Structure 1
Amino acid sequence: MHDVLPSYSEAIARPDWLQLAAPFIAITDYPALCRVSRRCWHIFAPILWRDPCAWSKRLGRSTADDTGPFWSRFLLRDAHLLSPRTRELIRVVDVSKAIAINDFNSWAVNARRHFYKLLALLPNVESLLIDDYCRVNARCLDHLDPSRPDRRLLMLSLKNTGHGISRSLTESRHLRALVYLDISGPAPVAFASLDATWLPELRILKMCRKQLTDYRWETWAMLLHLRLWSLDISDNELTDEAVLNLTELIDVHNHLRTTDRFASEGMLERWHPSGAHEQYILRESTLSPVFLPGPRYLIDAPPINNPEGADDPDASWTQVRADGSAPVRPDTLDGVLDLLSRPGVSGATEHLPGRRGITHLHISGNRLTAAGIQELLVHSEGHLELFDCERMLFFPPRRKTTKTYPPSLKAPRLYVSSAMRMSGLPGLGHLFRPVYSSNLRVLRIHHSLVTNIPTLTMDGLRSIECAYLAEKCVFPRLEEAYMLPFLPDMNPRLQSLTLTCVPRYSFGPLICRLAFFFRFLSLQAEALSTLTKKFQAEGGRPLRLVSGLRHVALELEPRMAEEPLDLDVEKLMASGEAPFSFFDSPLTESSKAKPKQPRTIDLWRETPDPSEAPPVKLVRHDTREGDNTMSLNQPNRSDPERQVWVLYSNKTNISGVTHTTNSVVWAGNGWSPNPVIRKYNHLVVNYRLQEGVGPATMHQTRAGAPVGCLLFHTTWLFAAMPQTLELPPDVDSQKKLDVAAELRQRWCRTQEDYQRAKERFPNRQYFTWDGKFEVIDPQPVDNGWLLWKAHNEHEPPYEFTGE
């Protein structure tokens, strides 16, 4: 590990050459080498017996999906034949997938009893992995040998078990050193069971499928605080209301964002709107928005330590971001097992020196929106190293309206179709740049980050029809609103990227977008290789560069277990030489199939008459009546004098006192060649919809907004969406391509293959890249989109109300 320093004795110890050669020796030779000599036994036996179940798979004596035969032999025969010295070498007991769920026979009862006896024979077990395929209860810890009170259990996995974890179990002396705990599944968990008093060393926690709501999670967040560095709360029921509690688990008081790299990355300037969370204004330099190879490829210089704080262990570590060269520590089950098995590494699962709080966060499968993800990343202060959120709701949540007295003027409303569910990350690529996400190196996110194509589902439409609407109807409009998708050089410190929910078939735009991204990825690898050779040729100690993006995975959209059939009944009945009939006698009149008509679907709509809405006050961009965030030092392609500006009044109630603050907000213009800007101007000025005020992003400035201005982001999002979608009569007749197969064909292994392909097909996008590219095909799911319904069936549709 590059980020965990060894102890002094570990650093000066001279390694044995045979121990250095052990990883290069065939696994099948380990049992024989243990019989050669005592020296070989002391080297190979600890590796062989650390995890007997894992080595049985590697030796071919069991499979990854069925370890029952191995455990039947080991529990009933082998364990009792081992010498005490060999049993002391066993550190991992993995009985997951050993007994099937429906095994209620005598073998299951007998195996459970023998398993309890086995734990008493293994005094040095550190990792106990029970999981879903075994009916062994976690109470087995009470059966441990009472003569060994010094037993330290570091890992405990109870995923998908029928029993949970209680306070009486965590009060056991064997769990005081617990580092890794997986309690995913429906089993209940008491709040007091994870208290810092009983589990002070807990660092990695997985609580998936616990039906956590915002209210329940608030209590858990107060209990966990800054104890963890990895948290997995996927597949729960959290909404944007839980974002504030999530940030309390991150050490946000230590700021990693500085102005030291303004020339290559830009800088953030805080903007404090009254009554809302603080936001940031991204100030760009001359080179920061260009994303070209150069200083952004260099790793950060080491910090200068303070000699006056040499006696303080925390003072010698300056709070800075990671230099970008070290890989991210794994927090998976196999990754943590690997960390604990490495010889000579102390404190591999502890917090990194000088850091506290969450650095690895998994929140996939919740009800968060793109606005909630934005708020989370902005307020994380750049501490997240691994971020996992496979899907997020496209539209922001409903605005909570309160009744006022005297009643205010009628406000306009926008209604989102109740039959539509959409997920994606529109125009938020800037949040993954180092200026925001300073330590981010591993990312698992929705594919719209690089494609600008959301995932769309509608009642009564098949997945292929929804994919057609997303690519052919929604994407062109989003492309005009958010022109620049995420590119590899926006964050060259990113090492691994997984794009989720990728459709299996594309009608063209999706494949072009992915090929475009991979082409820039190949240019990044080529630039890094050229710079490395240049620095090596200059002599002396070469400059160190970041590795760049070396792993890209496409996670395909899961298949639905029960895909609805799309049968044309009229065509079926009209087919054949004779008309269809249930009787022997033919029909007198032949039936004729009616041609299908294009279907029009309303995505969102306005109320018919916004005339009763409050009036809009138009002002100059340099008015003194309100706050204006525009900087005179920023280059601006648009003339502020020719734009339309409004005065936005924000009323907040603090301690019973109403405070009013005014801001000068850009309202677009009616003469712009961009239809999104014209629609935005109509919604703000004519329709009086003013929602989501905040600083303009780099995507909006490229579309035509003045640099550094304020605008209404929710209004801009609606302007970027078409109001109606038109589905062609027969989508199946449209040309579509297999996404995975097409990308594999466009991936050239060498530069010679790339040149030959470009000569043969000059209009197609090819790329050559020497990194790791994989396609993940998940298991089919049953009605997986129910989690993404835009509203409850007993609630009214989403509505966005202007002031």
Structure 2
Amino acid sequence: MQMQMQLQMEHPPSYQDAIRRLDWLEIVAPYVSARELARLCRVSKRFYHQFAPRLWNDALPLARQLGLQRDDGHEWSVLEHLDGLRAATRLLIATLDLRGFGMDVQDFFFGGKDRSRSLRRLSSTFPNLRCILLDDNQKIDVAQLASPEEPGSLAAPTFQGPMLLSMARCRTELPKNFFESLYLKHIIYLDVSDMPGALGLVLVQSPTGPQLTLPDLRILKTQNRELGDLTAFQLLGRKQLWSLDLSRNRITDRLIDLMCEMLFDAGIPRPSSETHFDVEGALSYPLEGGNGFYGRFGFIKESEWSATFSHPERYIADAPLYLQDYYGIPRPFARLDGRVKIKDDSADSIKTILSVGWGCTIPSVDDVRALDVCRHEAGITHLYLNQTNVSASALARLVRTLSGQLERLECDSPLLVSGNLREGFLPPRWIPRTARLSGILGLAHTFRPVISSNLQVLRMHHSLVTQLPSLEATNLSTLENLWLAETFLLPRAELAYPQSFVPDMNPRLRSLTLARIPRYSTGRLISKLVRFLKLAAAQEQAIQETAVSARRGPTKLLGLRHIRLEFEPETREGLTNYTDAASLLEMSPTEFSFYSDWKSSPASTPTLTPSTTGNAPPASAKQLPDDVNGACANNNASASASRRALSPPSPAPPPHESDSVRLEPFPPTETRYTYLPCVGTWKNGTQFTVPVWTGSGTTTDSAPISRQQQTQHPKSVVVDEYTRLLRKHPALRTNVQPASPCHVAAGVPPGSYIFAAAWEAVLAPPDMRHPTREELEGMHDVVAAIKAYRAGTRRAYEMAQKLKGVSGVKLGEPPHSHWTGRLEVSMRVVEEGDLSGKLWQ
């Protein structure tokens, strides 16, 4: 009923439909229970005309609604072997949803008669079939869909064919000409994830060409199909797509380069952001230049309030935008008002839109094709890049290039490296060859409305909020990787990239999923997650208190209403065979240090420690101290002081030729410098010169940083280390980029350009050591701490309501600070042979 009302709102009825007199059966039909539909169909022809389409629209889920299980013999009699129904009744079936049926579905539908012809008979048996969902069925030969039993009927003008086809995890390899079938010509939603065979040979390299294969395709899901960059780019050549899932494929930054090139050549006009300058700031492009690493050079010009996200009207939705009909021409990019819910590209949602579902009548084909999900859009709005080899810098470059086009973005494990992962350009040498470092640091501003104005759903690595990258060294246990990352990498990330994502950075964002969160923590990770929940509660309170005229006034944004925390699997089993600290002392450094491949000298180098870090080693207490609500705590002592010398990175390879950058050498005798000229060529052939900021100009190579400087001046510590790295390692003078708001917060002058490779090298930790067994045993369960905090705030909120009344308690108000949005906690369970894992709530 709700979906039918939504369809009517999106596509109003015609004048004839609006003025015709309704039958009273049409009014009461949506409220009739599933058990009464079959009985009402037997009353009269009039009743049959009203209730039979609702009964047979989606028959299999209706069987579940009736409580019929596999072992219940009544299931067979109710569904009557669908191929034996009357022709008029079979015309009413719009959905064939076989998900979740554990029986032999071919026996079920065709009574064991001639199994080889089962799917070939769909076009003749169910002519009005719109949705086919065959997920996880191992016995069905889905290749038979391409060769229907009566191909002559497919050429009839009235034939429509299915519009949704989901075959995820089916075990049949599709033939090369599968999608050339006329039966599948009008597919809008296609899911071919986790199927054997190369998708490129089937869909991309079709003899008829991608322009003629599946011309109506809008949503494509291709998880785990061994797609490479070029094949994926060919899929993107289908410009009618608005949702594309490339997760768990061999995707690298090369695909991002190709996408940015395509968007640059297309010259798609984007709306000016000056309209919302006071609230959000504006994009500024002082010169026509850029490079392959960053893209077009630009800055965020901040207003009086935008840098602190404190404008009093930041929660006010945009005024409605009225667009004329372009008569088939693709509509230009439009900024959503912040209240309109974006399209849902899930199989269940599209199935409901196309056939509405059991208990409802089937909408006409013309009404369905007029909906937004079936229309040609201005480009990709839903993009999934989970578990790929895309770097965080490349992802940010794509978001900036799309400039507000994305409405949903997922990338749970971006590589924390600068530059492109293409041939001839390697990651910084301070990252060990046996380790993978993933996360997204210093790029929270990319998801602000000034750049991502339409973004409403975001799934990203948890470091977006926690500033904690994920370390995966192959010669260390998972628990050791967690301890090392939180102890040595997190303090440096807090200094080099002090700005993390907070809810008020983008009040238009409704759903945020933080992925790959470690299950155990020394305490600081827990504190950051708790702080984020408190900020979400503070945003909720601020939205409630925002004054808006009750009559004909502007509407308010909803703010962040859904937070999902996805945790990694259990890691305590790593302690079973953990080597005791005493025996570690007998090992050589190369046996327990995964940074043994560094080619560095222990020359006099300054240390780098945040002001919040103490001098004591990590605490080994097994219980967290109580916080304000008695549920969680901030264990700042968990991060040890970085008192050892910073090992300098080895020289990095020269920049890629496509960057077209020429650097002027440092003056050999000059000791006080702040800028270095950098000459480059942009894509249109225009040469430009930018002064790249090289630091304070006061640091010398041999001047150590004192403990007092580290404690009192954290910004100067980062700047001095950046300067020292540029002096000592000229190969780090690569990847020029404009200073972001995060760099400015760390001490870079606003409006400057920096060498991103050198700034990233500031993250290089000192000589690392193994944790002791006691330190690992003292790590705390993050899931238990979050659940305890959540339960504590809920109890305090409910108690305050009892004392003051429901109307007397403000949302998110201390001391309860309870956030009333939907918080989900999920765990990724990795099964044998399944590297992707599954989530349970």
Give the structure-1-normalised TM-score: 0.78
Alpha-carbon displacement from aligned partner over 1:396-438 (angstroms, at most 9, x marks no partner): 35788989xxxxxxxx984421122111001110000011111
| Residue pairs, 1:457-536, within 5 angstroms | 457-531=472-546, 534-535=547-548
Select which of 739, 749, 771 maps to 1:728.
771
Asked if 1:330 is matched to 2:344, the reply is: yes
Q: Following TM superposition, by how much is the alpha carbon of 1:255 offset from its aligned partner in structure 2, in angstroms? A: 0.8
AA of the residue aligned to 1:278:
R
Give the letter for the 1:602 counterpart.
Y
**Structure 2 vs 1, CA of residues 60 and 375 (structure 1 numbering), >3 Å: closer, same or farther?**
same
Query: Which letter does structure 2 place at the counterpart of 1:422?
Result: L
Question: In the alignment, what sits opposite 2:92?
Answer: 89
TM-score (norm 2): 0.75
Deviation at residue 268 of structure 1 after TM alignment: 0.7
Q: How much has 1:744 moved relative to structure 2?
A: 2.0
Q: Which residue of 2 aligns with 1:445?
A: 460
1:372 aligns with 2:415: no
Unpaired runs of 5+ residues, structure 1, are 404-411, 572-591, 615-624, 627-641, 758-763, 788-803
Q: Is the 8 A contact 1:71 1:98 kept in 2?
A: no
Q: What is the distance in 2 between the residues matched to 1:728 and 1:129?
A: 50
Contact 1:88/1:123 (8 A) holds in 2 = yes
Q: 2:675 aligns with which of 646, 657, 662?
A: 646
Task: Indicate the SS of the match to 1:460.
Answer: coil
Structure-2 change in CA distance of 1:25 and 1:220 (3 Å): same
Match of 1:261 among 266, 270, 276: 276
Which residue identity lines up with residue 155 of structure 1 in the other structure?
Answer: L
Q: Is 1:737 matched with 2:777?
A: no
Are 1:454 and 2:469 an aligned pair?
yes
| SS class of match (2:342) | coil
Change beyond 3 A, Cα 1:117–1:313? closer
Q: Return the offset for 1:289.
A: 1.2
1:58 pairs with 2:65: yes
Consecutive unaligned residues of structure 2, counting only runs of 5 or more, are: 1-5, 357-361, 604-647, 653-662, 665-670, 700-708, 803-813
The equivalent residue for 2:720 is: 678
Task: Give the match for residue 667 of structure 1.
Answer: 695
Alignment map for 1:238-249 (pairs within 5 Å): 238-247=251-260
Query: 1:654 and 1:594 mapped to 2: Cα distance?
Result: 54
For the residue of structure 1 that corresponds to 2:516, the secondary structure is strand
Pair 1:235-2:277 in alignment: no
Letter in 2 for 1:236: N
Amino acid at match of 1:198: T
What do the CA deviations read for 1:755-801 (whole angstroms, capped 9, x no partner)? 699xxxxxx996412211111223314588899xxxxxxxxxxxxxx
What secondary structure, in the 3-state scheme, does the structure 1 residue paired with 2:314 have?
helix
Alignment CA distance shift 1:725-1:443 (3 Å): same
2:750 is matched with 707
Match of 1:359 in 2: 381
2:335 corresponding residue in structure 1: 321
CA contact (8 A) 1:221 1:248 kept: no
Report deviation, 1:47.
3.2
Task: Please state how far the C-alpha of 1:22 moved relative to its aligned partner.
Answer: 5.2
Aligned length: 713
Distance 1:70 1:257 in 2: 64
2:289 corresponds to:
273
Q: Distance in 2 between matches of 1:143 and 1:786?
A: 35
SS at match of 2:556: coil
Q: Match of 1:727, SS? A: coil
Query: What CA distance in whole angstroms lies between the structure 2 residues aligned with 1:12 and 1:247?
Result: 50
Q: For residues 741 and 168 of structure 1, do their structure 2 counterparts lie closer, same or farther at Cα, with a shift above 3 Å needed?
A: same
Question: Could you say which residue in structure 2 is the equivalent of 1:209?
Answer: 224
Provide, for residues 148-191 of structure 1, a one-character-per-residue CA deviation record: whole Å limited to 9, x for no partner: 63142101123233444456433332222211111222323332
Shift in alpha-carbon separation, 1:654–1:129, aligned structure 2, 3 A: closer
TM superposition shift of 1:200: 1.5
Amino acid at match of 2:783: A
The verdict on how the C-alpha distance between 1:92 and 1:159 changes in structure 2, with shifts beyond 3 A counting, is same
Residue 130 of structure 2 contacts residue 354 of structure 2 at CA under 8 Å; is this kept in 1?
Answer: no
Distance in structure 2 (CA, Å) of the matches to 1:613 and 1:391: 27
Please report how far the alpha carbon of residue 658 of structure 1 lies from its aligned counterpart in structure 2 after TM superposition: 12
Q: Structure 1 pair 662/258, CA: closer, same or farther in 2 (3 Å)?
A: closer
AA matched with 1:142: S
The Cα shift of 1:111 comes to 4.6
- Distance in 2 (CA, whole Å) between partners of 1:750 and 1:301 is 39
- Displacement of 1:607 in angstroms is 4.5
Q: CA deviation at 1:394?
A: 1.1
Structure 2 CA distance for partners of 1:465 and 1:199, relative to 1, 3 Å: same
Q: Does 1:549 align with 2:571?
A: no
Identity of aligned residues (%): 29
**Alpha-carbon distance between aligned partners in 2 of 1:500 and 1:601, rounded to the nearest angstrom:** 25
Distance 2:334 2:499 in 1: 30
Distance in 2 separating the partners of 1:654 and 1:439? 28
CA distance in 2 between counterparts of 1:349 and 1:563 reads 51
Q: Point out the more displaced range, 28-37 or 689-698.
A: 28-37
Q: Is the 8 A contact 1:473 1:726 kept in 2?
A: no
Give the superposition deviation at 1:386. Answer: 0.7
Q: Matches of residues 591-606 of structure 1 in structure 2 within 5 Å?
A: 601-602=594-595, 605=598
Kindly state the Cα deviation for residue 440 of structure 1 after the two structures are TM-superposed. Answer: 0.5
Moved more, 7-16 or 479-488: 7-16
1:123–1:677: structure 2 CA closer, same or farther, 3 Å change rule? same
Alignment-derived partner of residue 586 in structure 1: none
Tell me if structure 1 keeps the 8 A contact 2:495–2:714.
no
> For residues 135 and 748 of structure 2, what CA distance do their matches in structure 1 show?
53
**Within 2, Cα distance between the matches of 1:54 and 1:147?**
29
Given the alignment, which residue of 567, 571, 579 partners 2:577?
567
Which residue of 2 is the match for residue 408 of structure 1? none
* Cα distance in structure 1, aligned partners of 2:471 and 2:424: 32
- Any residues of structure 2 matched to 1:1-400 within 5 Å, and which? 1=6, 4-9=10-15, 19=26, 26-36=33-43, 38=45, 41-62=48-69, 73=76, 77-96=80-99, 98=101, 111-114=115-118, 116-117=120-121, 120-133=124-137, 134-145=139-150, 146-147=152-153, 149=156, 150-166=159-175, 168-184=177-193, 185-189=195-199, 190=201, 191-193=204-206, 195-222=210-237, 224=238, 226-247=239-260, 253-270=268-285, 271-273=287-289, 276=292, 277-292=295-310, 294-303=312-321, 312-313=326-327, 319-342=333-356, 346-347=368-369, 350=372, 355-397=377-419
Q: What is the SS of the residue equivalent to 1:261?
A: helix
Contact 1:501 1:555 in 2 (8 A): yes
Amino acid at match of 1:84: A
Q: Is the 8 A contact 1:516 1:765 kept in 2?
A: no
Q: Deviations over 1:234-281 (max 9, x none)?
A: 111111011033347768603145211010000111253355431321
CA distance in structure 2 between the aligned counterparts of 1:453 and 1:236, rounded to whole angstroms: 25
CA distance in 1, matches of 2:416, 2:198: 32
